[in-house]
A and B are shown apart, each in its own frame.
Chain A
Amino acid sequence: MHTIVCLKVVPKSEEVTIDDETKTLDRSKARSEINPPDMNAVEMALKLKERNGGTVSLLAMGPPLFEPYLRLGLAMGADQAFLMSDRAFGGADTLATSYVLAEGIKAIGSFDLVLCGDESSDGATGQVPPGIAEWLGLPQATDVRRVDVSDGSLSARRELGAGSEVVEADLPCVVSVKHDVNEPRFLDSGRWDWAMNEAPVQIWSATDLEIDVEKAGVPGSPTVVAGVSVAEGADRRREFLSGSPEEIATQLADKIRAWVKP
């Protein structure tokens, strides 16, 4: 069984600061990490490998600085990694991102399952997994908590807002994995040297894979950011209540009663 996990590297959301001048996100001081649910996807892939045998491949689209993160995935237990890196891929929206990733998946070769996270912690659209499935013409199951694979078919439990459902499909297919559905394993120290130094991380440019650059990056992206504005602050009283906790509690109770009464 061959599982391909799509990994995005994201700035640690708790370390992203705000540029005082421009008020926009300053990612330069934030360290990066593997998008949290993608770690759960790796863990799921490794569990499937333990049960069914086979290979786990990792795939990312992004700048060269993503490479060490792919190596972390190799140290966890993945077998091979691929990084699609080209200036032509930059500035992509989800249509262009999913196109490039689908081309990478095809280039890796035959596979049974593609696992993604349910959403990234930065763009957070959740649109890439269904996009990949559509470019590949494969069935999809999104927001999945658990998977079982047997005899070439998949059974997956999807989390819905109001409940859950179990779906079945023939492999190959594309699954997006919810955050926190398992406990991602630690790096295997026995694999460390290999993962950091010896393991091949295949880097692919657009030309390497004959990717249509008109469908990638900015030219391949139908959406554009038309403008940014400062959110108008609501007109709030911002009145600080003072006194001991008990005194504050009494003031609050009076206010609450006043609003709640007719």
Chain B
Amino acid sequence: MNASPYSPEEASGVWVYLEHRDGKLEGVSLELLGRSRELAQETGESLTALLLGEQVEPLAEEAIAAGADRVLVAEHALLGQYTTEPFTKVITGLIVEQRPNILLLGATTNGRDLAGRLAVRLRTGLTADCTDLSIGPKSGLLLGEVTGFGHGILATIECPVHRPQMATVRPGVFPRPVADPTHSGKVERVDVILSASDQPVRVVKQTSRRAADVTQAERLVIGGRGMEGDFALLRRLAKAVHADVGATRVAVDQGWVREDRMIGQTGSVTRPKLAIICGASGAMQFTVGVKDSETIIAINSDPEAPIFEVADYCVAEDAFQVIPPLIEALRREPVEEKS
């Protein structure tokens, strides 16, 4: 057996790893705090947030307002930018010392990079890309809900004897908690001992661009393979209904749309008031990203397409025949800007 550093009996506490950029917590970290607050209540444990970086202490307040009872702040020049080893080393040290029961991370590029490394260093289990997290009513174990085992099938993965129980979650899976400035928590600074030899990988250049955040969109126009690359048409429709544009993985893989707009298990999970889905078949890895929409309109030329099973209004037509007159109709009597 691969033995983890401590046993379930010795473990306590729910921990969330916080990611941040440009002096702000990432949305997925806030979402995790919100859900973890509920999980911690269920297990009767406290919620700890892990904040690593250089001069990041001011962010601790935001984490407390989002539900953390305690924020562990680790500051060091070698933590100024994410690289695998310094982050793994500092977090491993804290985990072995304080023995949390659960450790959750956002399934971002760096979150997955870190989680995959940490889980092996700690010899524990890691559930990837959960679409929900809950606590087993009898076992008290963390249950990670995952798709990918069949159409309409949800599997739960658990980690019975290794600690911490680890999982990653995609952005948007949980709603963002409303900040509660009256929630109190403590900030603990931890000692960090790192030297240059702890950083075998150095970042020599970084290019950032503003990534689209579709998780918070109120309205979405989403295109799939059936759009045959014509996202200009979808952008016009989106403009007419004041919506953001999203895409299936196929549309992203084809290079029609950038990856930050991908919706689904590998992309983002969204919960708009209105989603208009055009030329997408309705694969489960996609529909997990829209199933919480208030209203779904689907346009697909195949009347048998599974997307219609999850739609409120179904249009079994060629999208190229329906969308231009739809844009026209919306132009004649425009949609108001904001509800």
Contact = CB atoms under 8 A, between A and B. Distances in A.
Contact of B120 (A131, A143, A240, A260): A131
A231 interface: yes
A165 B152 contact: no
Interface string B262-303: 000110000001101000000010000001001111000001
B37 interface: no
Given A96-B2, A221-B125, A130 B253 contact: no
B169 to A, nearest CB: 13
Contact of A24 (B153, B162, B209, B273): B153
A170 B157 contact: no
Chain A: number of interface residues, binned into ranges:
35 or more
B310 interface: yes
A240 B304 CA distance: 12
A93 B316 CA distance: 42
B19 to A, nearest CB: 10
A118 to B, nearest CB: 9
B113 to A, nearest CB: 5
A132 B308 CA distance: 42
Interface in A182-240: 214-215, 219-231, 233-234, 236-240
Given A95-B123, A231-B153, A256 B201 contact: no
Interface stretch (A47-55, A61-69, A78-86, A120-128): A120-128
Interface centre among B120, B297, B308 (most CB of A within 10 A): B120
A96 B123 CA distance: 10
A252 B313 contact: yes
* Residue of A23, A162, A237 with highest tally of chain B CB at under 10 A: A162
Interface stretch (B40-48, B63-71, B226-234, B320-328): B320-328
Nearest to A133: B117
Interface string B304-320: 00001111111111100
A109 interface: no
Contact of A245 (B119, B204, B321): B321
Interface stretch (B142-150, B172-180, B186-194): B142-150
Contact of B157 (A98, A99, A224, A236): A224
A interface, over-half SS: mixed
A121 B202 CA distance: 30
Interface in B98-135: 108-110, 112-113, 115-117, 119-121, 123-129
Contact of A262 (B159, B314, B322, B339): B339
A250 interface: yes
A252 B126 contact: no
A104 interface: no
Interface of A: 18-19, 22-25, 93-96, 98-99, 122-131, 133-135, 139-143, 155, 158-170, 173, 179-180, 214-215, 219-231, 233-234, 236-241, 245-246, 248-250, 252-253, 255-257, 259-262
Interface of B: 1-2, 4, 21, 83-85, 108-110, 112-113, 115-117, 119-121, 123-129, 136, 141, 143, 148-162, 200-211, 219, 241-242, 253, 259-260, 265-266, 273-274, 276, 284, 291, 294-297, 303, 308-318, 321-323, 325-326, 328-330, 333, 335-336, 339
17 contacts: A23-B152, A95-B119, A99-B2, A124-B148, A127-B115, A142-B112, A168-B204, A170-B200, A222-B2, A222-B159, A226-B136, A233-B152, A234-B310, A249-B329, A255-B313, A256-B274, A259-B273
